[in-house]
């Protein structure tokens, strides 16, 4: 698998990171361990965890795998804290809460220090200088190698980067895919300014970009939307807009013509975007993961990438974004 540098000066990681959100939920431990083995055997070196996944069970599953056969040395581990987990009262970005959440994550993961610790989302009730203070303390303690941000608006990314002023702040996470490009308006410019690499979550739009769903046929069976058509941002009605189907139709046409899969093209487009370090892929089974990892083909030509850019370009609101782009256009290759 290809590798790349995270942010300006972070570690070298694989361009696909394995998301662990399904572990302990859709995926039981033995299968999760097979997925982890499959991923590292394919050259994957980045795992994305969070305390909140399956209420802590996901980190425990990863922890039992890390203890085996020198696995700890084969991967970079990123985890996150901010949201409610049973036995961790006071979920927030407050320093005392994050300190405790980090302790609990290290215990579940069975490690003494984590490569990247990320705040999982925003919290209006905590001043950003308190978050920056927590990061500085965690880095100083040696329990955290690097720090990162997740789901923060652009202004909070820029503010935290200025407050912390430390090159070990290396990454941010946002949902980003051919179906979700709005982070290009504020989040990517702020992250670029701060020198952060993007770990893009939902790179297959939670399965939509594999091409497995068909217009007008409600999903059934063992898929996220088969189990729960109203699930989250990927819900059937919410995501199944004309725009989504137009992008999926166009993606399938490109895939057929190039003899590649829609998932391969969607991921290849994504990891080729400026500012993207890695796509955090999820899977419910080893079979799915083998398709995703084994199916990642060569980087796209400029022409195909440009076609996919055009196909998926979101309508830009006239004001402020279209107006500002006219007044002060971004240089070629930047968003």
Ligand X SMILES: NC(=O)c1ccc[n+]([C@@H]2O[C@H](COP(=O)([O-])OP(=O)(O)OC[C@H]3O[C@@H](n4cnc5c(N)ncnc54)[C@H](OP(=O)(O)O)[C@@H]3O)[C@@H](O)[C@H]2O)c1
Min. distance of Cβ 13 from ligand X in angstroms?
A: 14
User: Contacts with ligand X: how many residues (CB under 6 A)?
Assistant: 29
Q: For residues 111-130, which are near ligand X according to CB under 6 A?
A: 120
Please pick, from the candidates 14, 22, 92, 159, the single residue that binds ligand X as defined by CB under 6 A: 22
Which residue, among 166, 168, 172, 165, has the nearest Cα to 189 in the 3D structure?
Answer: 172
Minimum CB distance to ligand X smaller for 221 or for 333: 221
The footprint of ligand X on residues 165-184 (CB under 6 A) is 173
Only segment of 62-70, 203-211, 252-260, 307-315 that touches ligand X (CB under 6 A): 203-211
Quick one: which of 39, 134, 176, 201 contacts ligand X (CB under 6 A)?
Answer: 201
Query: Would you say 26 or 31 has its CB closer to ligand X?
Result: 26
Task: Give the residue among 333, 256, 260, 268 at the shortest CA–CA distance from 300.
Answer: 268
Q: Which is nearer to ligand X, 98 or 325 (CB)?
A: 98
For residues 310 and 307, what is the distance between their CA atoms, to the nearest angstrom? 5
**Residue 57 vs 212, nearer CB to ligand X:** 212
**Interacting residues with ligand X between 43 and 72 (CB under 6 A):** 48
Binding letters toward ligand X, positions 95-114, x by CB under 6 A: --------------------
Please enumerate in sequence order all residues whose Cβ is within 8 A of that of 215, keeping only pairs 6 or more positions apart, or say none.
Answer: 240, 245
Residue 53 is among the residues annotated as catalytic for this protein:
yes
Binding flag, residue 160, ligand X (CB under 6 A): no
Half-sphere CA count of 267, side-chain side, radius 13 A: 31
Residues 120, 289: Cα–Cα separation, whole Å: 24
Paired tokens of 228: 């729960």
Residue 291 touching ligand X (CB under 6 A): yes
Segment contacting ligand X (CB under 6 A): 31-39, 93-101, 123-131, 276-284?
276-284
Q: Assign 149 to helix, strand or coil.
A: strand
Contact 101, 85 (CB under 8 A): yes
**Type and span of the H or E element at 263:** helix 262-271
Q: Does 27 bind ligand X (CB under 6 A)?
A: no
For residue 173, the 8-state DSSP code is: E
Give the helix ranges, DSSP H, for the chain: 29-41, 57-66, 95-109, 128-141, 154-164, 183-194, 224-227, 236-239, 242-258, 262-271, 286-294, 302-312, 323-327
Residue 312 binding ligand X, by CB under 6 A: no
Residues found near ligand X in the complex (CB under 6 A): 19-22, 26, 48, 120, 150-151, 173, 201-207, 210, 212, 223-224, 280-284, 288, 291-292
Catalytic residues: 53
């Amino acid at each position: 698998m290809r590798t790349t540098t995270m942010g300006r000066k972070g570690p070298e990681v694989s361009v696909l990171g394995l998301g662990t959100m399904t572990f302990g939920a859709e995926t039981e431990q033995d299968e999760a361990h097979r997925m982890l083995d499959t991923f590292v055997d394919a050259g994957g070196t980045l795992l994305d965890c969070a305390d909140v996944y399956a209420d802590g069970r996901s980190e425990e599953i990863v922890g039992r795998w890390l203890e085996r056969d020198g696995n700890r040395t084969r991967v970079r581990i990123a985890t996150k804290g901010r949201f409610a987990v049973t036995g961790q009262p006071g979920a927030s970005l407050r320093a005392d809460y994050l300190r405790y959440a980090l302790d609990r994550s290290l215990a579940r993961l069975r490690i003494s220090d984590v490569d990247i610790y990320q705040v999982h989302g925003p919290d209006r009730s905590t001043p950003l200088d308190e978050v920056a203070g927590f990061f500085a303390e965690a880095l100083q303690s040696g329990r955290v190698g690097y720090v990162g941000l997740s789901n923060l608006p652009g202004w909070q990314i820029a503010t935290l980067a200025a407050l912390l002023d430390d090159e070990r702040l290396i990454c941010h996470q946002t949902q980003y895919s051919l179906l979700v490009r709005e982070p290009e308006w504020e989040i990517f410019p702020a992250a670029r300014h701060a020198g952060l690499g993007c770990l893009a979550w939902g790179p297959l739009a939670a399965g939509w970009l594999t091409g497995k769903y068909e217009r007008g046929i409600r999903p059934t069976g063992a898929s996220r939307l088969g189990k729960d058509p109203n699930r989250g941002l990927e819900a059937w009605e919410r995501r199944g807009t004309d725009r989504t189907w137009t992008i999926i139709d166009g993606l399938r046409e490109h895939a057929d013509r190039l003899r590649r899969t829609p998932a391969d093209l969607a991921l290849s487009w994504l990891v080729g975007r400026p500012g993207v370090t890695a796509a955090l892929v999820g899977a419910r089974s080893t079979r799915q993961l083998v398709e995703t990892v084994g199916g990642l083909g060569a980087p796209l030509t400029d022409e195909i990438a440009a076609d996919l850019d055009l196909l998926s370009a979101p309508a830009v609101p006239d004001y402020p974004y279209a107006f500002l782009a006219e007044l002060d256009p971004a240089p070629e290759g930047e968003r």
